[in-house]
Amino acid sequence: MPGLRQGNVKSLRWSQISLERRHMWVSASEHKNGKAHAVPLNEQAMAVLQKRKGTHRTYVFTYEGEPVTQVSTKAWRNALVRAGIEDFRWHDLRHTFATWHREVGTPTHELQRLGGWRIQSMVERYAHLAPEGLQAAAARLDNLRVVTS
């Protein structure tokens, strides 16, 4: 699910999800920063959930009828090899989530709430922006007329 930590994804339960309202939540006791976290779900997340619907009564992600407890499996490592991905950690997905949001212009205060970061400085640690990502910001002044004497 978008931007979540591995533990929150592995233990995700259907009771945490409202498909009708298109959101899920992580309780304060399950969230690293100690505060409950509401997560709006985009189309891709909804598609994954719709596909998983009915596969298990309690848990969203299961393997052979049991909740997923381990992600770094042989199947996972083989998938990374097939995708040509090296030196990968689950937490890299959180960085990617934040970076993609930054690249499409999501404001810091919105990204902070989407990712469940308590303080803004944490958002900045996750949201990496390549210099070319600032091109759109620089271009905002292209049509500004400056009066010169």
Catalytic sites, residue numbers: 5, 32, 91, 94, 117, 126
Spatial contact of 45 and 9, defined as CB atoms under 8 Å apart: no
Give phi and psi for 89, each to the nearest 5: -125, 150
CA dist list (Å): 125 to 7, 82, 108, 129, 146: 20, 29, 12, 11, 36
Tokens representing 117?
């970061």
Paired sense of beta strands 17-18 and 66-67, if any: unpaired
